[in-house]
Structure 1
Amino acid sequence: MDTNLKGKTVLITGAAKGIGRETAIAFGREGSRLALLDIDATGLGETVEAVKAAGGQATAFKADLSSATDIEDKVGAAIAHLGGGLDVLVNNVGSGAVRTFDQLTDSEWDKTFSLNFMSYVRTTRIVLPVMRKQGKGAIVNNASDLARQPEGVPIDYSASKAAVLALTKGLARSEGANNIRINAVAPGPVWTPFWTQPGGFAETMGKFHNMEPQKAVEHEMSLRQLPLGRLGKPEEVANVIVFLASDLASFVTSSVWGVDGGSIRAIA
């Protein structure tokens, strides 16, 4: 089946590693032209080379996506570099740590929402007028299974991702008349640097459970009772993102696609 993504322009936030990098590579295989944003310049450079090796074109833009000013400057520059139009936006950037409600300060809540939610708002605010002018577009937001089935920790992360789903649903309603499709993926546990990096989910989960990071992750997965019995791979999420952005999903909008190994048990 033809995705019709060859030559299409794509902007991806948080593209230096993990799901963002694999999504960029997947679009590269389709022959897309990419603008990639992240605060990690070294990781971005590695992603650019991987995209080129996959057959696509990519340019890196170092950006602090928790900064409104940086988003305005760098997203604008990225769109200009792509020729002033944009076919696909993938809002992917995010971070999280395992902390209880009592441990979270106002500053930490603000920091989580600034990156995990407001970066999506700010980037989309810039992109929508471009897509409206050209009369079409697709936006895919990276949420989480914890947005639909929260755990006690990390509650700030879960809340920020629930806000992403509300944003997705609301904008899909308002932008349908402009032929702009807006969907979300909701990954379950996916083994990426998001988990493995210093201060990431694995390390902070280890402190929470008083275990070594790897054992803490295994313990957490046993509690969640994933039917597939394993963590996901970033490329498994990337494949769904590419599908949702493509013409293969031309009648799909306002949807939340779980890529979670069966972690969500609810029917709706």
Structure 2
Amino acid sequence: MLRTNLEGKLTLITGAATGIGRAAALGFAAEGAQLALVDRDADALAQTAEEARAQGVEVATATADLGTAAGIDEALTTLLGDGTAPDVLVNNVGAGSVRTFDDLSDDDWHATFELNFFSYLRTIRAVLPGMRARGTGAIVNNASDLARQPEANPVDYAASKAAVLALTKSLARSEGPAIRINAVAPGPIWTPFWTKPGGFADTLAEVHGLPPQEAVEHEMKLRQLPLERLGTAEEVANVIVFLASDLAAFVTSSVWGVDGGSVRAIV
């Protein structure tokens, strides 16, 4: 029988407190992985860690703002202070809001790229030397279907996630065969990214002039989503766990759409 072989593997997950990060943490815990989790929401992160420990795995946590270089250094020093490299890195942290091109200032663009792109780049830069020295490793980057099929907005979010895909492809070529690097590209997923106050649901409500739930449903119709629903965080986490595991031993430089069919391109 095929196995993930993730038991005991040290897995570092950014943005692990809620949404896809939380679901990924619990998914890896179910496979017996040892977890290192980071998020800026201390209370929600503690809850995720408690649920993971209930599955019998070791969990270390760090609270930090990954939108800054100092925050990343702080988190990785706390979690990997002895220089230990994780077996698996899941770059998941990210944020965005629905804003038109004209709404965005240079500061807005910088803030989006600092969190959605540079946090990935800096975290990878920190763990790669140890992975290279060990001769193994798996990295999974959380991108977006908007990186592959941009909409009119949010243009800054789509551009930052497209950069994540370019980084994934480039590093997969340079770091093979020892280290596998892949990306997931979720479509609309019902997480706090959508549901929190000021999140996508609220901003779409403003854009479409509808209540939040109706605005989301209207947006899905506009996108002509074949599965006609938002996905769940667990559905994305399942693919992340797969890509990090031995089940995907011959998979690298790939972009896995978990998008309900939103992307229409053949490649």
Q: Secondary structure at the match of 2:81?
A: helix
One-letter code aligned to 1:42? D
One-letter code aligned to 1:55? G
Q: Secondary structure at the match of 1:19?
A: helix
Matches of 1:66 and 1:118, distance apart in 2: 8
Name the residue aligned to 2:20. 19
Matches of 1:211 and 1:156, distance apart in 2: 24
Name the residue aligned to 1:203. 202
One-letter code aligned to 1:181? R
One-letter code aligned to 1:125? R
Q: Is contact 1:203-1:213 (8 Å) kept? A: yes
Name the residue aligned to 2:30. 29
Name the residue aligned to 1:160. 160
Matches of 1:130 and 1:77, distance apart in 2: 16
One-letter code aligned to 1:231? L
One-letter code aligned to 2:145? D
User: What per-residue deviation string (whole Å, max 9, x for no partner) do you get for residues 67-112 of structure 1?
Assistant: 101201211321237x723100000000010010011111111111
User: What per-residue deviation string (whole Å, max 9, x for no partner) do you get for residues 33-62 of structure 1?
Assistant: 000000000010010011112332212100
Matches of 1:212 and 1:41, distance apart in 2: 31
4+ long deviations beyond 6 Å: none
Q: Secondary structure at the match of 1:5?
A: coil
Name the residue aligned to 2:261. 262
Structure 1 residues without counterparts, runs of 5 or longer:
none
Range that drifts further, 36-45 or 67-76? 67-76
Q: TM-score, normalised by structure 1?
A: 0.97
Structure 2 residues without counterparts, runs of 5 or longer:
none
One-letter code aligned to 1:131? M
User: What per-residue deviation string (whole Å, max 9, x for no partner) do you get for residues 233-256 of structure 1?
Assistant: 000000000000001111100000
Aligned residues: 266
Name the residue aligned to 1:149. 149
Q: Secondary structure at the match of 2:163?
A: helix
The CA deviation at 1:123 is 0.5
Q: Is contact 1:202-1:214 (8 Å) kept? A: yes
Name the residue aligned to 1:175. 175
Q: Is contact 1:30-1:55 (8 Å) kept? A: no
Within 5 Å, give how 1:1-268 maps onto structure 2. 1-80=2-81, 84-177=84-177, 179-268=178-267
CA RMSD of aligned residues (A): 1.0
Q: TM-score, normalised by structure 2?
A: 0.97
Q: Is contact 1:33-1:57 (8 Å) kept? A: yes
Fraction of identical pairs, as percent: 66
Matches of 1:93 and 1:108, distance apart in 2: 17
